[in-house]
Amino acid sequence: MGFLDKVKDTANKAADQAKQATAVGKEKLEDRNLQKKINELQQEIGALVVAQRRNDAPDDAATRIDVKVAEIGELEAQMASNTPDASSGDAAAAG
């Protein structure tokens, strides 16, 4: 019985580590998607700024920039909230 208990315990640990790795992978994927969105917003802001410098921007360019900057802040906050979970998961998987 002792051997079977060890096998079962090892299998449970492996399953837990797989779940942990999956959760970390999902967080990393979400962070990549958030970073991609941030990059897109930054490009849009850049295009608006260039248009402003050329006096070719829409009348509401400043408002659009403000909205995009606020959205970037929200996305960065989401990424920051993912970071502690991922690092604690790495520590649990390593231990």
Distance from C-alpha of 84 to C-alpha of 28, rounded to nearest angstrom: 12
Question: In the chain, which ranges are continuous DSSP H helix?
Answer: 2-53, 61-94
Domain count, the chain: 1
63 pLDDT above the threshold of 90: yes
For 71-83, what is each residue's pLDDT tens digit? 999 999 999 988 6
Q: Domain containing 31: what range? A: 2-94
For 14-60, what is each residue's pLDDT tens digit? 888 898 989 888 999 999 999 999 999 999 999 999 999 999 999 99
User: Would you state the structure tokens that stand for residue 2, as one six-digit string?
Assistant: 């002792």
**Which pTM does this prediction carry?**
0.70
